[in-house]
Amino acid sequence: MDVKEERAIGVRGQLIRTLGDVVFRVYDAEYNFVDYEITNHDCEVVIIDPDAAFIRNAAGDFLDYTNESMQFSK
């Protein structure tokens, strides 16, 4: 396979936890996606998800969903 390289700066994607890894998933306009294995050791990430929160408790420190986003009503 030929090597294809394009700059990643400004690309919007999602960190996805798979069975064995965390990957960077990028969708195209037709909702096809590519999962990129993360081998970059210090890539800066900005969290833009309004439902993300840092949780610190006796069990540890987590990046999770806000309590508010997990609430639902009937």
pLDDT band at 72 (very low <50, low <70, confident <90, very high): confident
Of 33, 44, 50, nearest to 8 by C-alpha is: 44
- pLDDT tens-digit series, residues 11-41: 999 999 999 899 999 999 999 999 999 999 9
pLDDT tens by residue, 49-62: 999 999 999 999 99
What does DSSP say about strands 33-37 and 22-27: parallel, antiparallel, or unpaired?
antiparallel
1 band by pLDDT with thresholds 50, 70 and 90: confident
Task: Report the C-alpha gap between 20 and 31 in whole angstroms.
Answer: 23
Q: Which helix (H) or strand (E) holds 3?
A: none
List the one residue out of 40, 39, 37, 43 whose CA is nearest residue 18.
Answer: 37
